[in-house]
Structure 1
Amino acid sequence: MFDFRYHALSLVAVFVALLIGLLLGVAIGDQGLVSSAERDLRALLRSDVRDANKRSDDLREQVAESNRFAQEAYQPLVADRLNGGRVALIFLGPGSDDIAENVRNALVGTGAKLVAVGVLREPLDTGELAGAADGTRYERLTAGDEDLANGLGVRVGVQLVSGGKLIGELREALFKTLNGEIGDVTSVVLVRRSPDLEGAAATTRDAFEDGLVTGIRRSGARVVGAEASDADPSQISWFEKRDLSSVDAIDRIEGRAGLVLALAGAQGTFGIKDSAEALLPDVVGPGQ
């Protein structure tokens, strides 16, 4: 739950000083200078190297202590925050085993469990979806049809949470993979890793995704966006535009804590990036 960039920069500075000291020592030795000034300089550089090594060791110990504190503070912070929660993780675009594992780890001790992990196919194959939706109005779905794509997204979002016949019929056409149980979900974590698309494919994708968020919300489930600290490009602005809470460092302990608190109801953008409003939500309000 701490930002260790300061420690990392300090370590870099220490090692740069150490390297400069060593290079100066080698250069002086190569010139064969034996003056008193040289001996004094060498002694000073040796002292600087010793100080730098000690500073480096001290910083490493501080970082290790901070990590231990964060690990020990995590469980009391998130304990039973999501009692009885059933969480679905949905990837808009390619999935990630690492992100799925981080979400699963975030829920440990919260009283909630990850019940489903799904990876949506993007771009959407409108022909295959239309065929699978035979007998419904979505059998007329074509690339670029915003109204039908949005309506389909709403239906899928509702049924992802509450269950229904259509999502079962579309399962193979809609999801690259879908593991676990859908239809009894209390909250959804969205990870958007959508490929760059243009034209009708982009129009269809955007309308469907907007509908999906609307449908999940309409069903009463909580929706939170998440990404890793190295996500490029970041999707935090996409979540913000849809008024979704988000965390930008699910791969770090503070990001996992932020995810739990956001799933518990905290509103805002949390994490370590410039787009974040705060590292974590306020756990205790003023005067409490």
Structure 2
Amino acid sequence: MGYSARYHAASLIAVFIALAVGILVGAEFGGDALTNTRRDLEHSLVGNLQDARSRADDLNADLNRADEFAERVYPVLTRERLLGRRFAILALGNLPSDITGEVEEALAPTGGRLVGVGVVREPADINGLAEDLAQTRLADLRTNPDALTELGTGLGRQLVVGGTLPDVVRGHLFSRTSGSFGNLDGVIVVRDQPEEMELPQREKTNQLEGGLMNGITRTRVPAVGVETSTDDTSNVPFFQSNDLASVDDVDLKAGQLAMVFAMLGADGSFGVKGSADQLLPDLLTGAE
């Protein structure tokens, strides 16, 4: 919301400037008949521009105070709420560089730990996965859609509770990983699919994603999909369709607070975009 207000104020100033320049330039070609009109417009536009600048200054001051308030209150509301709990980020496709930092910042006062990060390779490497599983009942991944869904479901579950399957396919499942999975108390999901995938690749990748989300949610640990308020494409509909809580403004303190309470069990879509149910969850939900 803060960024929208700043953008609105700046846009208003730009409109006044452009309008003033356009009228003044046009008036130069209108002769003496337009002199009085130009003078009146000059005075009017200067006054409007000054008002717009003053309003922008007031908005920035209000927003700066709100930011300072949020920075001070956030640690009080979240201190040791997640003490001793283990969390991991599972990114589908790509992991934007700022997301990990935002999650770590959100967890800092809670006592919770980010213990693992995994970026799922997309498009899915079906051939590589099939080779890894050649001696198992999932060896027919290339031709059997049900096997791909079953694989995704098994992987999603074992990434949370532990198991050997993720290690068997790690090289072809992930483009990169760090830390460890298993024995998790919550999963933070990020989705950033490559745009250049062909339709058959996208269909198989979506199927694997759906299986992963199904496996995670079946464990009943909290799972929340996150994105930033500035993301051009929102994945909230994907999170909603897979029964995940969602936060669309994890780059803001309000979004970080919503993420923490989603990890405590709050359900819903939170944030500042049109797909959000509300800005924040009930702060009493799951607080124990």
TM bin (shorter chain) = 0.7 to 0.9
Question: 1:25–1:45: 8 Å Cα contact kept in structure 2?
Answer: no
Q: CA offset at residue 207 of structure 1?
A: 2.8
Q: CA deviation digits over 1:226-255, x for unaligned, max 9? A: 122233432111111122111112222222
Q: Mark the runs of 5 or more structure 1 residues left unpaired by the alignment.
A: none
Corresponding residue number in structure 1 for 2:222:
222
Q: CA deviation digits over 1:95-147, x for unaligned, max 9? A: 222112111111111111111111111222222112212432122321x5221
Question: 1:128–1:173: 8 Å Cα contact kept in structure 2?
Answer: yes
Query: How many pairs are equivalent?
Result: 283
| Matches of 2:93 and 2:112, distance apart in 1 | 25
Paired amino acid for 2:280: L
Paired amino acid for 2:95: G
| Matches of 1:54 and 1:3, distance apart in 2 | 17
Cα separation, partners in 2 of 1:141 and 1:51, compared to 1, 3 Å: closer
Percent sequence identity is 35
Alignment of 1:73-88 (within 5 A): 73-88=73-88
| Matches of 2:45 and 2:219, distance apart in 1 | 68
Alignment TM-score, normalising by the size of structure 1: 0.85
Question: 2:223–2:244: 8 Å Cα contact kept in structure 1?
Answer: yes
Paired amino acid for 1:148: A
| Matches of 1:45 and 1:218, distance apart in 2 | 61
Q: CA deviation digits over 1:24-76, x for unaligned, max 9? A: 5677789689x888777655655544444433322221221122122222222
Alignment TM-score, normalising by the size of structure 2: 0.85
Q: CA offset at residue 278 of structure 1?
A: 0.6
Q: Mark the runs of 5 or more structure 2 residues left unpaired by the alignment.
A: none
More moved, 268-277 vs 153-162: 153-162
| Matches of 2:198 and 2:18, distance apart in 1 | 50
Question: 1:92–1:194: 8 Å Cα contact kept in structure 2?
Answer: yes
More moved, 188-197 vs 198-207: 198-207
Corresponding residue number in structure 2 for 1:274:
274
Question: 1:153–1:212: 8 Å Cα contact kept in structure 2?
Answer: yes
| Matches of 2:169 and 2:38, distance apart in 1 | 79
| Matches of 2:56 and 2:262, distance apart in 1 | 36
Corresponding residue number in structure 1 for 2:231:
231
- Root-mean-square deviation over aligned CA pairs: 2.8
Question: 2:224–2:246: 8 Å Cα contact kept in structure 1?
Answer: yes
Corresponding residue number in structure 2 for 1:111:
111
SS at match of 1:275: coil
Corresponding residue number in structure 2 for 1:187:
186
Question: 2:189–2:225: 8 Å Cα contact kept in structure 1?
Answer: yes
